[in-house]
Amino acid sequence: MSIRARPLTALLTALAIVASACGTTDDGPSSPEASASVEAAIDATNGDVEGDDADGDADTDSTAADESEGTSLFPVTIDHSFGATTVESQPERVVTFGFSDHSFTLAMGVVPVALRKTFDAQTFTVWPWAQDALGDTEPELIGFLEPSFEQIAALQPDLILAVNANVDERVYGILSGIAPTIARPAGYGIQDTPWREMATITGDVLGRPDEAAAVIDDLETRFDAARSANPDFDGSTASVVFYTAATGRFGSYETNNLRYSFLAELGFEPPEALVAESGGGSTIIELGVERLDVVDADVVVWNPTDDQGDEAGSIRDIPTRVVALPAAAEGREVIADLFLAAALTEASPLSWHYALDRIVPELAAAIDGDLATPAPSAVGLYELEGETDATADEMAAMVAWERALGSDASLEEKAPHIEDFDALSIIIDDAIAAGEALGGVTITATRATITDDLAVVSFDASLDGATTSDLTATLDRIDGIWVARRAEVCLYIGFIGVTCPS
């Protein structure tokens, strides 16, 4: 259950470090051949890095040399921040050095032989939204902030993807001495490449441009549908803020940050006061709680960073919040939990499909400015007058989620409430046993918000006495029964060490 996941503090701290750090080696097992390869690559970085092309000639566009029917897509040349790289033939052993590069290859059907996790505290190889694409394969992990170049060399890759990576000229030189390496495009900062460009580059260099085009089209279709269904999003403002109650640390992100790119796809704009604070980059903006007014918007999305199990309580206790934020006074706030925050941060097609499932109903509930209908994740922020007991329909959705995930429900009780239960029944049985071995999993649903045949359930999860609050899940009403989505069930049981089959 999510209790075993590290708190958002670990996630956001790690991601802040990632944004400013440069990759370095760490000590680890290696072969003499790998060591020699790395030493040679390091020696080669004594001069300027000019790219991987032997003749120095670079194709001016990032597409395959020839995509005509019946001919090879290779060689393909990709321009990037450190020159240009030519890949001569179809890659078969891909190492993803960037923090989300693996999610792009997985979306196109290519499983890397090794990858870097998004953050060190992660208890799984890839985030659950990419688990189906990963299947039963277990790529090697090449470290977090300090990946081992010798380990990478020992894998004998024929391509290294370092687009969304903390790579400087020296690190790029070492990597390109091991295998053809693709870095971020010129003009973009670390972890700043837009998702469409990343998808296109990845598809071209893997020889899968059609798959890349389909990935882009699928996500664009989702964004278009969300905008069409929610016309209030267009032209409205939204801000994304982080807050640490223990230290009072508060701020947002520069408006080129990929989190704001996600919101822009839905039609939102950053508030003018925040634009004025932004230097046009993508890093964080430290503000301090005395400047809450800078982030006021039609919707405020909170990323609380305290390990307290009560994110809503931490935000609610900010003394000036309701005064400085009209959004707070009118119920126009959303709280991102660990998974939603990570999905927005990863900024890959797979993660943003997940984020759309989670955040669109939240934004729709928040933007109406009606304090009586807050976003499900933010209910704990408000003391609502005249609160009533849950309706029978809301209670049914809450009970369905408790049965789907809790340890105290039998397989027979769970079966009607879990999508694709027959295929998951053995795994669900394993999850019950794993939860009991860890002290028992208790799910307490606190609220359900229903729109037609969709319910968003807010809940607390407890494992062996530790509780995480203000989580959310989405259920669909099928033939009159509330059914938990397969992906969300798999998401949560992954945190007690149980993996769903692909």
Mean pLDDT, residues 189-215: 94
d(CA 415, CA 411): 6
d(CA 96, CA 160): 6
d(CA 216, CA 307): 36
Tell me how far CA of residue 287 lies from CA of 242, 254, 277, 290, 303, in angstroms. Answer: 10, 12, 9, 8, 15
Instruction: Provide the pLDDT for residue 349.
Output: 96
Q: Kindly tell me if the per-residue pLDDT of 40 is higher than 60.
A: no
Mean pLDDT, residues 303-308: 65
Instruction: Provide the pLDDT for residue 18.
Output: 33
Instruction: Provide the pLDDT for residue 295.
Output: 95
Instruction: Provide the pLDDT for residue 381.
Output: 85
Give the strand order in the sheet containing 454-463.
441-451, 454-463, 466-478, 481-484
Those residues whose C-beta lies under 8 Å from the C-beta of residue 362, and which sit 6 or more positions away, are: 334, 375, 376, 377, 378, 456, 472
Q: Kindly tell me if the per-residue pLDDT of 72 is higher than 70.
A: yes
Structure tokens at 309: 């199990």
Instruction: Provide the pLDDT for residue 306.
Output: 59
323-379 per-position pLDDT tens digit: 899 999 899 999 998 888 889 999 999 999 999 999 999 999 999 888 878 888 888
**Is the preceding peptide bond at 75 cis, omega within 30 degrees of 0?**
yes
Assign 3-state DSSP to the chain and report helix, strand, coil percentages, each to 5.
Answer: 40, 20, 40
Q: Choose from 118-122, 173-177, 288-292 the range with maximum mean pLDDT.
A: 173-177
Tell me how far CA of residue 281 lies from CA of 19, 191, 192, 318, 368, in angstroms. Answer: 12, 11, 9, 28, 31
Instruction: Provide the pLDDT for residue 468.
Output: 73
Structure tokens at 376: 């499900």
Mean pLDDT, residues 208-221: 97
Confidence of residue 235 (pLDDT cuts 50, 70, 90): very high
Percent of the chain with pLDDT over 90: 45
Instruction: Provide the pLDDT for residue 90.
Output: 94
436-487 per-position pLDDT tens digit: 887 778 888 888 888 888 888 888 888 776 777 767 788 999 999 999 998 8
- Output the pTM of the full model: 0.74
Structure tokens at 313: 């309580």
Instruction: Provide the pLDDT for residue 483.
Output: 95
Structure tokens at 110: 């290519």
372-431 per-position pLDDT tens digit: 788 888 888 886 554 556 788 899 999 999 999 887 888 899 999 999 899 888 888 888
Phi-psi region of 193 (alpha: psi -120 to 50; beta: other; left: phi over 0): beta
Residue 249's φ and ψ, nearest 5 degrees, are -70, 130
Instruction: Provide the pLDDT for residue 123.
Output: 58
Higher-pLDDT residue of 474, 46: 474
Instruction: Provide the pLDDT for residue 497.
Output: 72
d(CA 294, CA 324): 9
